[in-house]
A and B are shown apart, each in its own frame.
Chain A
Amino acid sequence: MATILLIIHGLVAVALLGAATHQTLATWRHARARPGSFLGRFRAVPSAAFADAIVLLYVLSALLGAVVYLYFRVDVRPGLERGAHWPALGFFDIKEHFVSIGLALLPAYWICWQPPLVGALARTRAALTTILACIVWWNFLVGHVVNNIKGLGS
């Protein structure tokens, strides 16, 4: 069961990673890439259209992570402690803190992206989007690395 949940958690995280990265790059597209180039097309997405999906995917990913975390604490972490993987445990702790703070930012993030987009909130919108994207990237990489050290079911 834990392995199935972990795989679903990972798949949701991949979707979230893509959406958050797309939106962040589109938000910071002041220095426009050459039109027609790969980067230009990558950035030229309607940013606001991603907001609902990102909120939904973030909440779903956090919920799945919160469930998998129970298995992690009992089955995985003791092994990491015995193996003295202290930095991995530290990085994982930072991941859990960032998840919570990111969750709390979602209401403000969602409101900032509601049409019509308010110009006065442009910088706040960009900052919140970037912070969420950084959290998603950090959590994805740390989760991946910790799973590689001693994954569930190993």
Chain B
Amino acid sequence: MTGSSACRRFAFAFGPAFAVIYVIALARDLALFTVYPSLGIVLAGTHHARDTVSPSMGFLAPAMYWYGWTATAALGALVFGLAAAILPERWTRRLWSGWVWVVPLGAMMACVYLTLPWFRLYL
């Protein structure tokens, strides 16, 4: 197992795994942490204003989840990437390299679909 081929297996597993886990995190609201920029605090896990106060008070402390979703996906993808890197090369040799762009492309479409509620507000 050469270093460069392990790096390649890591990179080719990390991208698609990240994309899939990101969509799951987005759809299931699985942020590793929640950022409250106006308060300057970060809480572990996903927190919504409605969990603690009236939804109408949410504007006082807007929550941000993008950082948390990205961290969730990065952590999950790191596991898949490392697993792919330590697997024997013969196990992954037959995998089509195109998955590295087909899966993220599908994930991007899924992200657009999950964003549609914004546009329905306009209709």
Report which of A74, A90, A97 forms a contact with B62, defined as CB distance below 8 A: A74
Q: A100-B69, A108-B11 are in contact. Are A131 and B101 (CB under 8 A)?
A: yes
In the complex, what distance in Å separates the CA atom of A111 from the CA atom of B11? 8
Q: Beyond the given A90-B117, A104-B74, A127-B98, could you list 6 further A-B residue pairs with CB under 8 A, ordered by the A residue number?
A: A84-B122, A98-B108, A100-B73, A101-B108, A111-B12, A121-B97
- List which B1-41 residues lie within 8 A (CB) of chain A: 7-8, 10-12, 14-15, 18-19, 22, 26, 35, 37-38
Count A/B pairs, Cβ under 8 Å: 101
Tell yes or no: A57 within 8 A of B by CB: no
Tell yes or no: A31 within 8 A of B by CB: no
- List which A58-103 residues lie within 8 A (CB) of chain B: 66, 69-71, 73-74, 77-78, 84, 86-87, 89-90, 93-94, 96-98, 100-101, 103
> In the assembled complex, which residues on chain A have CB atoms less than 8 Å from the CB atom of B67?
66
Tell yes or no: B49 within 8 A of A by CB: no
Tell yes or no: B118 within 8 A of A by CB: yes
**Contact, CB under 8 Å: B19 / A104:** yes
Q: A87-B118, A111-B7, A124-B97 are in contact. Are A78 and B62 (CB under 8 A)?
A: yes
Report which of B11, B64, B77 forms a contact with A69, defined as CB distance below 8 A: B64
Contact bitstring A2-17, B, C-beta under 8 A = 1, else 0: 0000000000000000
> In the assembled complex, which residues on chain B have CB atoms less than 8 Å from the CB atom of A32?
none
**Contact, CB under 8 Å: A89 / B118:** yes
**Contact, CB under 8 Å: B104 / A86:** no
**Contact, CB under 8 Å: B10 / A104:** no
Interface size on B, residues (CB 8 A): 41
Report which of A94, A103, A110 forms a contact with B111, defined as CB distance below 8 A: A94
| Beta-carbon nearest neighbor of B40 in chain A | A70
Report which of B8, B11, B122 forms a contact with A87, defined as CB distance below 8 A: B122
B1 to chain A, nearest CB (A): 16
**Contact, CB under 8 Å: B62 / A94:** no
Tell yes or no: A29 within 8 A of B by CB: no
In the complex, what distance in Å separates the CA atom of A100 from the CA atom of B72? 11
Tell yes or no: A144 within 8 A of B by CB: no
B47 to chain A, nearest CB (A): 15
Q: A66-B67, A90-B118, A124-B98 are in contact. Are A97 and B15 (CB under 8 A)?
A: no
> In the assembled complex, which residues on chain A have CB atoms less than 8 Å from the CB atom of B70?
100, 103
> In the assembled complex, which residues on chain A have CB atoms less than 8 Å from the CB atom of B119?
86-87, 90
> In the assembled complex, which residues on chain B have CB atoms less than 8 Å from the CB atom of A127?
98, 101
> In the assembled complex, which residues on chain A have CB atoms less than 8 Å from the CB atom of B12?
108, 111
